[in-house]
Amino acid sequence: MGTAIRVEVWDADADAGRAAITAVMDEMRRIDELMSPYKPASELSRINREAGKQAVKISSEQFDLIVRSLELSKLTHGAFDITFSSVGYLYDYRKRQEPTDAQIAGALPGINYRHLILDRRAGTIRFARQGVRIDLGGIAKGHAVDRGIEILKKRGVKEAIVTAGGDSRVLGDRRGRPWQVGVRDPRDSKGMVAVIPLINAAISTSGDYERYFERNGRRVHHIINPKTGKSSTGVRSVTIIGPDATTTDGMSTSVFVMGVAEGMKLVDSMSGIDAIIIDDLGKMRFSKNLQQITPGDARKPVGASKP
């Protein structure tokens, strides 16, 4: 996944705890083999090679995550769109490469989630036109974290945290107190702007500092506005708190693209979802529910519910 995985488990039986962690790491690897856009042998790469020509039969897991992505596209009026990759693949942040305006203009018609044709009964995906690519990078880590938590639950683990990059989910509490998850300062890799107490909840942060380079004072980063094919502007980071990591991961990328006004409006309309947005001036904004928690008060955990 090109990202750090962290699993912490509390178990009275140390061997059982260690075995549970190994099972979660194996699951992460399995999902990466299935959904990585960088591995030519992954099912996702096969979709990108073949679905422009014919319907491709895929696993129900990949199918379902694509369906989730399409639901998010509709909810966010296209801010979340896995076909962003039709242009997005032209960026290489490590090599400081970005497409020219002409290249973007040529590839941009490939971005539109409506180009994806899914056949539930046949279990296939097809692209309505050539030049379409998909990438689940905005939601797959959340899915992997949720799968990890499911594995731990099945093994009887009651207290754990699973983190993949900016996406975490906690199971239960940590020795009778909430788990504490920090929200990074987007302009200081060692700094923290908030610490969120969590019980049975998920939290995801999308930031313009994850994969980026700077050119002529411009930050070219990995979250793409599907309308322009360029890095989304107006926000430095978005943190979403919710019931599961697939939701928080998908929503953090979505709200990043939607921006402060539209994004916060959507969050405030959804029950069980909260947000902290840091805008392009560094100002922090909290969704309605979080405003009721006085800053610095870490006693009231967010998302306390039965697993």
173 binds, among Mg ion, ligand AMP, none (CB under 5 to 8 A by kind): none
113 binds, among Mg ion, ligand AMP, none (CB under 5 to 8 A by kind): none
Measured CA distances, 58 to 120, 145, 146, 201 (Å): 10, 21, 21, 30
In the bound state with ligand AMP, the residue whose beta carbon lies nearer, of 155 and 285, is: 285
Measured CA distances, 41 to 128, 137, 283, 286 (Å): 23, 17, 43, 42
Distance CA 139, CA 70 (A): 11
In the bound state with Mg ion, the residue whose beta carbon lies nearer, of 11 and 167, is: 167
Chain residues in the site for ligand AMP (CB under 6 A): 80-82, 84, 88, 135, 137-138, 166, 206, 210, 222-224, 226, 249, 252-253, 257
Distance CA 208, CA 237 (A): 6
For residue 103, the minimal CB distance to ligand AMP (Å) is: 17
Residue list 139-198, contact with Mg ion (CB under 5 A): none
Amino acid in the structure at residue 32: D
210 binds, among Mg ion, ligand AMP, none (CB under 5 to 8 A by kind): ligand AMP
Distance CA 164, CA 159 (A): 17
Exactly one of 249, 264, 267, 276 binds Mg ion (CB under 5 A); that residue is 249
243 token code pair: 């019931």
In the bound state with ligand AMP, the residue whose beta carbon lies nearer, of 113 and 174, is: 113
Pick the closest to residue 225 from 76, 103, 44, 52 (CA basis).
Answer: 76
Identify the bridge partners of residue 126 per DSSP, sorted by sequence position. Answer: 117
Backbone angles phi, psi at 72, to 5 degrees: -65, -35
In the bound state with ligand AMP, the residue whose beta carbon lies nearer, of 81 and 185, is: 81
In the bound state with ligand AMP, the residue whose beta carbon lies nearer, of 178 and 250, is: 250
Residue list 117-146, contact with Mg ion (CB under 5 A): 138
Residues that bind Mg ion (CB under 5 A): 138, 249, 252-253
